[in-house]
Amino acid sequence: MIALVRGEVAARGADSVVVMSGGVGYRLAVSAQTLRGVPAVGSEVTLHAHLIVRDDALSLYGFATEGERELFLMLLSVQSVGPKVALAVLGAGAVADLYAAIAAGDGGRFQAVPGIGKRTAERIIVELREKVGDAIGSGIIARRTPEDDGSPRAVAREGLLELGFTPVEAEDLLAQVSGETAEELLAGALRATRQGSAA
C-alpha cells in the first residue's frame, strides 16, 4: 500500500498532480483544497496517499493532511459516495469545517456539492457522526504529545489542533462545551464552531 509520496512536482492538472519520486512519476487525484496547497512545478511536495485497486485500474489519491485522507476514507464508506464525489466533498472546504458540518447535522453543506442529493447528504451525516469519534480514538485526528495529561479535554484539544484550529481557538471552543469523553467534547466544540459561523 502506498501511504505517502514525497518528491518533485512534475505536473499540475485541474484535479491531479504528478509527483516524481525515485525516478517514477506518480499521478495522484487530489481535491481542490489539496491542490491549492501544492507548490509550483519543480518544487518539493509531500502528500499522504491512498491506493484504490480495481480489476481495470490502480487509482492513487493524494491528500495534504492525514486528517483529509481519513475523511476521504470515511466518505467512501457511505453508500452512493465514490472517490470522485468524496474528492468533491473535500474540495468544498477545510477538513475542520466539514467535520463541524457533520457534527452540526448540516446536510445542506453536502447537498451543495455536485453529485450529492438530499438522501446521500443525510446518509453522510448519520453514518459519519459516529465515525468522527472513532477517528479521535484511533489517533488519526487527535494525537497525544508527551506533554498531554491524557484527560478527555487534552485529547479533544489535540483533535482540534489536528483539524487546523489554533491553540487559542481550541481553548475558546472547549470553554463553551461540556462532556465526559473526548468524543463528546470535540463534537460539542465542532457544533459550537458551526453555530458561530451561522450567527
pLDDT digits 0-9 by tens, 118-128 = 999 999 998 88
Question: From 1.10.150.20, 3.10.20.600, 3.40.50.1860, 3.30.565.10, which CATH number describes the 67-198 domain?
Answer: 1.10.150.20
Q: Are 12 and 35 in contact (CB under 8 A)?
A: yes
End-to-end CA distance of the chain: 44
Contacts of 181 (CB under 8 A, 6+ apart): 152
Predicted local confidence at residue 142, as pLDDT: 46
What pTM, to 2 d.p., does this model score? Answer: 0.69
Q: Indicate where the chain has its CATH 1.10.150.20 domain(s).
A: 67-198
Neighbours of 122 (CB within 10 A): 14
Classify residue 115 as left (phi > 0), alpha (psi -120 to 50) or beta: left
**To 5 degrees, how large is the angle CA 30–CA 190–CA 89?**
25
- Residue 75, exposed/middle/buried by CB under 10 A (0-12, 13-18, 19+)? buried
Q: What is the pLDDT of residue 192?
A: 82
Which amino acid would we find at residue 92? A
What is the rounded distance in angstroms from the CA atom of residue 127 to the CA atom of residue 192?
A: 20
Amino acid at 38: V
At 4-39, the pLDDT tens digits run 999 999 999 999 999 999 999 999 999 999 999 999
Cα separation, 75 vs 99, in Å, equals 12
- Return the HEC string of 4-44: EEEEEEEEECCCEEEEEECCEEEEEEECHHHHHHCCCCCCE
- Helix, strand, coil fractions of the chain, as percent rounded to 5: 50, 20, 30
Domain with CATH 2.40.50.140 in the chain: 4-64
Cα–Cα distance measured from residue 138 to residue 134, given in angstroms and rounded to the nearest whole number? 6
Q: Does domain 4-64 have CATH number 1.10.1370.40?
A: no
**Of 162, 5, 38, nearest to 96 (Cα)?**
162
Residue segments in the chain with a per-residue pLDDT below the cut of 50: 136, 142-148, 198-199
CA distance 8 to 10: 6
